[in-house]
Structure 1
């Protein structure tokens, strides 16, 4: 009776294998495959792991949101990497990125509060108009943890502190525009706003030989004119997703806990060179990375390039 049972079980298993009902993604180390079998295995993997691109869009709450590349398995290239051993190996899968049809630059003039919610990256926005005493410590922690941030410079601060500005740039951080005299731009005319942004760009270019492409309005105060002027100067207006509120001088641990609890894909975290940030930066970096996020600049956040 037992022999008959096992005989029929083996026969049934053979039929299932013949018709591909056990055709899950092949495991590394399986028997050597024919060319057709390997192609079919890669195709099946492709069907399950391709991702559609996401167009940039205007959100009713978050305003302009950048797009995000899709991906597709390059079946031919993947096969070439696997054919010598004749075995399916997920580590040898080759992907091609697929660009969305609508890009950030295609959208109407709108501020940006966050990156794409499917992209697991977070950016530090560090607005600098004062607080030089804490900059060296912040730079040291960022360097120790191989983390790059985007520093938004007040133009008058750069004028007074060119060496500190150069030190920040030399450390590999991105530089943005934070207006010239920390004005309330919501109350400024188009011409006044233009003067603030142009003067800042000029002093940054003269000092650092770089032209900012991101603009952060002081205190987050702006209007349609502000965004329009920034766009005319080929800059996008950057706000934030999460605020450290470091200017209120909270205990560093309290600030870190509040920030980390709100972090999500595409978040931009606003901060300044203050004591709470200097004291809490290392913990903040460790905990954000510990949640599986990459830390990068605004440009990396806004890029459509995938992070997988």
Structure 2
């Protein structure tokens, strides 16, 4: 009897458990798991940083920054000044100008026509953006440059507009951005109604083939300088010329040329090789102390167009460092060996803070070396704004012999002999 009661009780418990389970299965899942609105599953939104960078890119594609109503497509400084007033300061950089509006955290680059070609935003929010976040939002940059201890991440948005992120070495975030229109800046490179000179100078020592090749190069490089903001072959249409000397220093010809320039109280422009600067630092120092410009001709005198990007940078940097070690300043003007220059070289030179200055008169003192031909190539061809090419290495004794005659003839024609900084309006040192 007792066992029957126990079995009955067990059966009742089993029946009761099964019944509860079945009832539980009838409860809709939504009723069992329905949370209160936005309690544990809020609507999915983009992180604030991502949303901010999306806005930066969207504005840049329109030629704008997020903290300025102006753009690099059709805005002008006349419009800016009418709405924002006069800038706190205006700095001249090459043939362009930069207007700073401190309370707006904006700097505007504009050309002689007043067209805005560069808008730089120093918004505080940028400093919280890391490089990793920027690359996740914008993707891999077209180019990464290093200028004056700053990394510049370049994103090409279309044929004319670039977005640049400027990131100092000692900062985790972005210091500022630049929305840049390269086509608008080029408009302003040459003043004086696009005053361009063809390249003069001849030698009877050149074969017909060599002369033809030289003529082709001359035409091409003049056109190239027209298309590149930081490449020059001549100065403006003014009664001024510049005397330039390549391939030094040495211990004989370069000192002689320095003495002649000093005697006539005119300034010269020496494009020295970094490898030779290390051999003759006292000559370099003397050229500088006497008021001449000490500039760069690369380190090893190799055709830069045949090198990789890294090797071009090394040639420029090593020469700049060698000169800076002697005179305390790094040049900001480069003459490429043989004058060979292409888009890659011009771009890297600009990244490194250099203008490229070539010539409009070649004395050909390396070919037909006698002093009379050197003098004639100058005097028979000289025009306003000419940049005159000579050399100051140890083999150019005839150049030193010709120099006093060239200076006297130029002065008789009332040409002012100036340095390249004065002639071109570009800085000589960084």
TM > 0.5 fold call: yes
1:112 aligns with 2:235: no
Alpha-carbon separation, structure 2, partners of 1:131 and 1:115: 28
1:298 aligns with 2:420: yes
1:263 aligns with 2:382: yes
Deviations 1:235-258 (A, max 9, x none): 101110001111125221122012
Q: What's the CA shift for 1:109?
A: 3.7
Q: How does 1:56-205 map to 2 (within 5 A)?
A: 66-67=190-191, 108-116=228-236, 118-129=237-248, 131-205=250-324
Specify the alignment match of 1:279 in structure 2: 401
Alpha-carbon separation, structure 2, partners of 1:67 and 1:150: 23
In structure 1, runs of 5+ residues without a counterpart are 1-53, 56-62, 69-106
User: Highest Rg: 1 or 2?
Assistant: 2
Over 3 Å counting, the alpha-carbon distance change for 1:254 and 1:108 in structure 2 is: closer
Deviations 1:11-62 (A, max 9, x none): xxxxxxxxxxxxxxxxxxxxxxxxxxxxxxxxxxxxxxxxxxx87xxxxxxx
Q: What's the CA shift for 1:283?
A: 0.4
1:211 aligns with 2:330: yes
2:339 pairs with one of 220, 229, 232 = 220
Greater share of strand: 2
Alpha-carbon separation, structure 2, partners of 1:206 and 1:132: 19
Specify the alignment match of 1:4 in structure 2: none
Provide runs of 4+ in structure 1 moved above 6 Å: none
TM-score after normalising by structure 1: 0.63
1:254 aligns with 2:376: no
Look up the SS of the partner of 1:132 in the other structure: coil
2:352 pairs with one of 233, 253, 261 = 233
Alpha-carbon separation, structure 2, partners of 1:276 and 1:202: 31
Deviations 1:50-89 (A, max 9, x none): xxxx87xxxxxxx995446xxxxxxxxxxxxxxxxxxxxx
Alpha-carbon separation, structure 2, partners of 1:289 and 1:144: 14
Look up the SS of the partner of 1:179 in the other structure: coil
Cα-Cα RMSD: 2.4
Over 3 Å counting, the alpha-carbon distance change for 1:245 and 1:108 in structure 2 is: closer
Look up the SS of the partner of 2:238 in the other structure: coil
Look up the SS of the partner of 1:247 in the other structure: coil
Alpha-carbon separation, structure 1, partners of 2:399 and 2:389: 10
Indicate conservation of the 8 Å contact 1:109/1:228, yes or no: no
In structure 2, runs of 5+ residues without a counterpart are 1-111, 114-186, 193-226
Alpha-carbon separation, structure 2, partners of 1:251 and 1:179: 27
Indicate conservation of the 8 Å contact 2:232/2:356, yes or no: yes
Number of equivalences: 207
Q: What's the CA shift for 1:281?
A: 0.3
Q: What's the CA shift for 1:160?
A: 1.3
Q: What's the CA shift for 1:303?
A: 2.3
Indicate conservation of the 8 Å contact 1:64/1:111, yes or no: no
Look up the SS of the partner of 2:243 in the other structure: strand
Alpha-carbon separation, structure 2, partners of 1:220 and 1:268: 13
Q: What's the CA shift for 1:110?
A: 4.4
Deviations 1:225-280 (A, max 9, x none): 11111111111011100011111252211220121111111100011111121000
Over 3 Å counting, the alpha-carbon distance change for 1:65 and 1:276 in structure 2 is: farther
Look up the SS of the partner of 2:254 in the other structure: helix
TM-score after normalising by structure 2: 0.45
Deviations 1:67-117 (A, max 9, x none): 46xxxxxxxxxxxxxxxxxxxxxxxxxxxxxxxxxxxxxx8544200001x
